[in-house]
């Protein structure tokens, strides 16, 4: 991930650059301590992420974000500031800033936030590739049957949950597709029995799925901590998981508890299928 740092305090720039390299968060492709100069460099370099100070000589950070977003909507911005004014924060969000880092700089906070942004960039790029694939096959997609639509819907949800790259995600897709194709009532079968149709070691397959679903719960809980009204959190926290368990996972991530939330594989898969069937109705 290409990162640009724009802050009028060179010490802050050095600190951020060191954190990025020490924690393997990306590559710093440019830096500046002046708003006007930084604006021109960002246009030239087109980084994935810009860490930008709110108040700078030349031009303030919000104005720069506003202008750049008009031409480079895919660039992500993290605002750095000592200012905690609600009006300024709302204005920054309005023009495209997703996260704030408050001074003095905290290395752990920087790492967590940049990793969240990096993950979102990767998900967005995956979605773009999927969309391009469908655009190339538009004539076919228009006539795809209901089962295929459900399969793609499941993949889209797994992408939103941030688990499409997990090994167990492919097992989840296979099992879900099998249930849809065979019109199976999932309440009448066990996950282990379903896995028997695909693996000589169904226990191992079931465990892979369970671990992947646990990652999904952790991701959902993180979204809820960050923004309780996040669309993905609201849509999936209770339909794919037991909401009480999601709250336990949130407490665990907040370090308020030493017990994680538990997952129910059958509920998760049933929820996936229900989401996709409702979408196709």
pLDDT value, residue 32: 92
pLDDT value, residue 138: 52
By percentage, how much of the chain surpasses pLDDT 90? Answer: 50
Of the given ranges (91-95, 250-254, 271-275), which has the lowest mean pLDDT?
Answer: 91-95
Spell out the residues 6+ positions from residue 246 whose beta carbon is closer than 8 angstroms to its own: 217, 220, 221, 224, 237, 238, 261
Of the given ranges (4-8, 75-79, 121-125, 181-185), which has the lowest mean pLDDT?
Answer: 121-125
Of the given ranges (10-24, 43-57, 71-85, 205-219), which has the lowest mean pLDDT?
Answer: 71-85
Q: Which carries the bigger pLDDT value, residue 215 or residue 152?
A: 215
Q: Which carries the bigger pLDDT value, residue 243 or residue 55?
A: 243
pLDDT bucket at 139, cuts 50 / 70 / 90:
very low
Cβ atoms of 179 and 186 within 8 Å: the answer is yes
pLDDT value, residue 87: 72
Q: Residue 170 and residue 38: Cα distance in Å, rounded?
A: 43
pLDDT value, residue 114: 92
pLDDT tens digits for range 205-259 = 999 999 999 999 999 999 999 988 888 999 999 999 999 999 999 999 999 999 9
Share the mean pLDDT of the chain: 86
Q: Residue 33 and residue 65: Cα distance in Å, rounded?
A: 15
**Beta 27-32 vs 2-6: how paired, if at all?**
parallel
Backbone CA torsion sign across 97, 102, 107, 109 = negative
pLDDT tens digits for range 77-87 = 999 987 666 67
The pTM of the full predicted model, rounded to 2 decimals, is: 0.49
Q: Residue 82 and residue 45: Cα distance in Å, rounded?
A: 27
By percentage, how much of the chain surpasses pLDDT 70? Answer: 90
- Average pLDDT of 265-280? 85
Report in angstroms the alpha-carbon separations of 94 from 51, 213, 267, 275: 17, 33, 37, 31
- Average pLDDT of 39-62? 88
pLDDT value, residue 144: 46
Report in angstroms the alpha-carbon separations of 28 from 1, 50, 100, 133, 134: 9, 10, 19, 31, 34
Nearest to 163 by CA among 231, 230, 232, 229: 232
Q: Name the burial class of residue 80, with classes exposed (0-12), middle (13-18) and buried (19+) by CB atoms within 10 angstroms of its CB.
A: buried
């Amino acid at each position: 991930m290409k990162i640009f740092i724009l802050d009028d305090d060179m010490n802050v720039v050095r600190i951020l650059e060191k954190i990025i390299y020490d924690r393997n968060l990306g590559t710093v492709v440019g830096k500046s301590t002046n708003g006007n100069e930084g604006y021109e460099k960002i246009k030239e370099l087109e980084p994935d992420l810009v860490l930008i100070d709110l108040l700078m000589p030349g031009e303030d950070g919000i104005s720069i974000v506003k202008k750049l977003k008009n031409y480079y909507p895919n660039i992500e911005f993290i605002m750095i500031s000592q200012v905690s004014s609600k009006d300024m924060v709302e204005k920054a969000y309005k023009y495209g800033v997703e996260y704030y880092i408050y001074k003095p700089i905290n290395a752990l906070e920087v790492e967590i936030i940049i990793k969240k942004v990096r993950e979102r960039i990767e998900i967005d790029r995956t979605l773009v590739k999927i969309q391009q694939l469908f655009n190339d096959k538009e004539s076919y997609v228009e006539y795809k049957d209901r089962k295929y639509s459900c399969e793609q819907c499941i993949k889209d949800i797994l992408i939103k949950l941030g688990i499409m790259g997990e090994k167990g995600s492919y097992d989840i897709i296979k099992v879900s597709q099998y249930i849809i194709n065979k019109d199976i009532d999932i309440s009448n079968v066990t996950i282990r029995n379903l896995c028997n149709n695909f693996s000589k070691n169904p226990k191992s397959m079931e465990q892979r799925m369970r671990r992947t679903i646990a990652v999904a719960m952790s991701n959902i809980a993180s979204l809820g901590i960050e923004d309780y009204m996040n669309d993905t959190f609201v849509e999936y926290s209770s339909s794919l998981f037991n909401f009480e368990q999601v709250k336990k996972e949130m407490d665990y991530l907040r370090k308020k508890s030493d017990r994680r939330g538990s997952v129910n594989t059958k509920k998760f898969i049933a929820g996936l299928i229900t989401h996709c069937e409702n979408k196709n109705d």
